[in-house]
A and B are shown apart, each in its own frame.
Chain A
C-alpha cells in the first residue's frame, strides 16, 4: 500500500498507540471549522469535550451559536442529541461519525510497525480495515492518521501541534468524496472569561 511506501518494517515493540489530542477531560476543545464539501463552503465552531473514560461530546454550532449537531460518542457508537434538519441524513451522519471516530479514538492495538528517519508508523485494525498512525521522530508527536480501505487511502487527518498534547490545526481530507474539514483551535487566552 502507498501509505507505507519507502518505510522499513520493524518488529512491533509498542503494542498500543495513543492519540492524546482529545484525551484531557479538564479541557474544552474549541475549534473554528471550515468545511468544503463538493465546492460549497460553510463554517462554524466545533466543540469537543471528553466526558468519560471513552466518552466524548461533540457539538458544532454556526458562528452565531445555533447548534448544527450535538452528538455523544461512547467509544463504539454515537448517540444523536440533536441534528439540524438539513444535516439529518444517513449519509452525512455516517461520514461525520466515521471522521469523529478516527479523531477521538484514543487507543488502538498495533498490528505492524514501520519507520523512516523522520517518522514511525503504526498499523492498527479498524473493523475489517486498517488505520495508520504517523508519529514524528524524534518528537514522538502524532502528526497524521490515515484511514484506508482494502487497497486505498480513504481519509487523512493531519495535525499541527506545538506540545504534542493539543492540536492547534487539524485538517481532515477525504479521498473518495469531495470533503475537506479544516479546524483551527481557539487561542487559550482569548477563550477564558
Chain B
C-alpha cells in the first residue's frame, strides 16, 4: 500500500487542470446519473400509483403489497444487482429493477397515506354532488393526496440519486463511475467532484420538486 501521507502531498483534493480538461467526462456522468434516476422514478410511479389506488380500494391487497415491497426494500442494492447479473447481465435492466422496486415501496406508502387522509366528509360531499367513483378518484381524492405523494417522490428522488452511484459496480453508475475511478487510480479529483455533484444533484432535485409541489398543490403551502 502506498504511503497515504505522501500521496496526500502530491495529489491535491481538487486538481483543477484535470477538471478543466475533463468537463465532457463529468457531464456525461451527470447525464447518465440523471437518466438512471429518472427511469427509476418513472418506473416507480408507474407501478406504485395504480397499485396504491388498488390497495386503497381493495384493502386485502394492502398487507401483501406493503410486505412484499418492504422485504425487497430491506435487501441491499449490491445484493440485488449481484443476484440479477446471471439473468439480466451487466446493464441498465439490472440497475433499474432494484431501483424501481425501492421507489415503489416509498411511493406506495405515500399514496396510501395520502388517500387514507382524505376526510370522509369530503367524500360524502363529492358523492352528494353526483361524482361517480372514477371522477371522484381523479378529481377529488388524488389531488388531495398530492402533498403526501410529493413528499414520497422527494424522498424517493434523493435516495435514488445516492444509490445510483452503487451501480458503478455493474459498469454504470453515472457519477459513481467517477468515484470508482478515484478509488482505482487513488486520484482524488474525480472522487471529490462526483461526491459534490451527487449531493448537489440531490439537493437541486429536492428543491425543484418542492417548487413543483407549490405550483401543483397551491393549497398545501407550508406542509
A binds B: no
Residues in B lying within 8 Å of A, measured CB to CB:
none
Q: CB within 8 Å of B: which residues of A?
A: none
